[in-house]
């Protein structure tokens, strides 16, 4: 597979990953925080906001292979 095709597929997969991650995080926040504690909500959003990086790392490695 050419690097150009790999990057196209990886970009589409990355966008899909981020969109699904955001929707799941929003749904979890709505379900978990009925009366949000501001510190707990802040921690949840920081973890949820940075959490997509771990699943994205193998995809980025695959995209950068030559």
pLDDT at 3: 86
Helices (H), 1-66: 3-32, 38-50, 53-64
Q: What is the mean pLDDT of residues 18-37?
A: 84
| Residue in the block written with tokens 């959003």 | 45
Nearest alpha-carbon partner for 6 in 44, 61, 54, 45: 61
Domain spans of the chain, in order of start? 3-64
pLDDT at 18: 94
Q: Report the mean per-residue pLDDT for the chain.
A: 87
């Amino acid at each position: 597979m050419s690097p150009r095709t790999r990057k196209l597929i990886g970009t589409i997969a990355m966008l899909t990953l981020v969109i699904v991650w955001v929707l799941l995080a929003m749904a979890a926040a709505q379900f978990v925080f009925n009366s949000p504690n501001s510190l707990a909500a802040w921690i949840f959003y920081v973890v949820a906001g940075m959490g997509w990086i771990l699943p994205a790392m193998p995809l980025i490695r695959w995209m950068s292979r030559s």
